[in-house]
Amino acid sequence: MFYYVYGLLHSPDYREKYADNLSKELPRIPCVKTAADFWVFSQTGRALAELHLNYETVEPYPLPGLNLDLPDADYRVEKMR
């Protein structure tokens, strides 16, 4: 049930449909019409929670042209302009 709610609250359709209500009150959790829809939200919520909880163990995405091995330089700001 937790992963169903987690997946539902992160759904772009849910956020768009209930945007006005979410800005004023606590979120309401609607029931889905079929068990298949429940399991889709549940599996999506589980995968999303896995990403949110274990983000530190994921390999960084390689970005071309980005060099993170910079020499030790002093980037201290002396005077704001």
* 57-75 confidence digits (pLDDT tens): 888 777 777 666 666 666 6
Length of the chain: 81
| 3-state secondary structure at position 9 | helix
Give the pLDDT of residue 72: 66
32 closest CA partner among 47, 11, 62, 51:
11
φ/ψ of 52, rounded to 5, equals -70, -35
Give the pLDDT of residue 66: 67
Q: What is the DSSP string of 29-48?
A: -PPPSSHHHHHHHHHHHHHH
Give the pLDDT of residue 71: 65
pLDDT band with cut points at 50, 70 and 90 for residue 76: confident
The mean pLDDT value of the chain amounts to 87
Single pTM value for the model: 0.65
Mean pLDDT over 18-28 rounds to 90
